[in-house]
Amino acid sequence: MPGFEVFGEEEKKEISDVLETGVLFRYGFEKERKGIWKVAELERRFASMCGASYSLAVSSGSATLRVALAALGVSPGDEVITQGFTFIATWEAIIESGATPVFAEVDDTLCMEPADLERKITERTKAIIPVHMIGAQANIKEIMTIANRHGIPVIEDTAQAAGGTLDGDYLGTFGAIGIFSFDPVKTMTTGEGGMIITSEKDLYLNCSAFHDHGHEHLPDVERGLDNRRFPGFNFRMMELQGAIGLAQLAKLPFIIQEQKKNKEKIKKMLQRIEGITFRSILDPDGDTATFLAFFLPDAQKARRFNQVLSKNNVGAIYYKDNTWHFYPNWHELFKGTTLCKTGWPFKNNIRGADFLYRKDALPKTEALFERLLVFPISVKMPEERLAHMITAIEAAAQEVF
């Protein structure tokens, strides 16, 4: 998963280009910066890789979601549908927009189940955020068909799948807006950072202004003398992040290629065990191979299998127990705990009614995740480590089956 594994001379060179100019800000300082525009160049190259018309780098993946929702005009009282397996940033951004998150089930792609999405659409639904979780594709074509039928814009949360594709098209290009995270554990990283892509000029202009206090970024108007269509906030990326991003983007194909090789080797070990099945990957060629997800026949077997792996120091992620990615463990949603003295967003909501969530609202997701184990895949997995994994997997299989 992490691009930091391949940090090298390329990142150092890019950073030193910036330090030599002394300009860390992505806008202005034309004279001092001596033609060095790292963030702008990263935007250009990222859009070009994806085949998107516009791109905007921002300070984090979480910020991309907030900016994208603002660009679409999502407002207090609106509903935004996302899924019950994602990092909490996806629904935090919806709450930050004043809107109400609504959660759909996931299916064995480990991403949004299209049928449940359609069931959850109401007249309040103003955006849909499917998430391409743990490196591979959501059923985005079917999701787009449903969204288009209802005239609702889609933001593809591609935070965990930069460089992934579906039938040759880059993830993030199917919806109105695609967003990416470059945080410290992502396939390409800038430490903190994210990218927004779109092919709609109006949305791009909204994003660009909103992420920078409303600045219009007009080529012939000096910054500070420009106009403001609306207030925004500061979600800007800085030049040092842009610099690292350029080096990392160039390495992305290599990172994915190596992860694919490692993932295949581990998958082969697991395939020998009768009773283990795998996450459905819609297009294996377009998988970024950051994770290998597999199912045991039942919850008890999954836990026992993982106990043996953990004893051998190669424990898998058991998302059922994870408090950051799995709906039934997002306790603040069920208890309505918040720092706001008014109880917002759970109480005094603009909808005119309090809203709290039920822990048992996604039974399909819960049943799936009881049986799910996930190995993170690294770029560098030496043969000794792989051999050690084989031994541990064999021991776990013997114990469980």
Q: Note the residues at the interface with ligand PLP (CB under 6 A).
A: 60-62, 86-87, 89-90, 131, 157, 159-160, 181, 183, 194
Active site residue 186: yes
Q: Alpha helices, DSSP H only, in 51-167?
A: 61-71, 89-96, 114-120, 140-150
Sheet holding 372-376, edge to edge: 277-278, 291-295, 372-376
Classified as helix, coil or strand, 175 is coil
User: Parallel, antiparallel, or unpaired for β 291-295 and 277-278?
Assistant: antiparallel
Distance CA 359, CA 354 (A): 16
Entry field: residues in the chain: 401
DSSP letter for 212, please: B
CB contact burial 53-91 (16+ within 10 A = b; e otherwise): ebbbbbbbbbbbbbbbbbbbebeeebbbbbbbbbbbbbb
Classified as helix, coil or strand, 154 is strand
Q: Which residue is nearest to ligand PLP (CB)?
A: 61
**Minimum separation from the CB atom of position 65 to ligand PLP (A):** 6
**Minimum separation from the CB atom of position 196 to ligand PLP (A):** 12
CB-nearer residue toward ligand PLP: 155 or 389: 155
**Minimum separation from the CB atom of position 133 to ligand PLP (A):** 6
**Minimum separation from the CB atom of position 150 to ligand PLP (A):** 23
CB-nearer residue toward ligand PLP: 54 or 291: 291
Give yes or no for a contact between 234 and 102, defined as CB atoms under 8 angstroms apart: no
Give yes or no for a contact between 176 and 170, defined as CB atoms under 8 angstroms apart: no
Question: In Å, how far are 11, 51, 148, 290, 335 from 349, measured between CA atoms?
Answer: 46, 40, 29, 39, 15
**Minimum separation from the CB atom of position 8 to ligand PLP (A):** 22
**Minimum separation from the CB atom of position 59 to ligand PLP (A):** 8
Catalytic residue among 31, 126, 141, 186: 186
Q: Which helix (H) or strand (E) holds 57?
A: strand 54-58
State residue 207 phi and psi, 5-degree precision.
-60, -50
Residues tagged active-site: 186
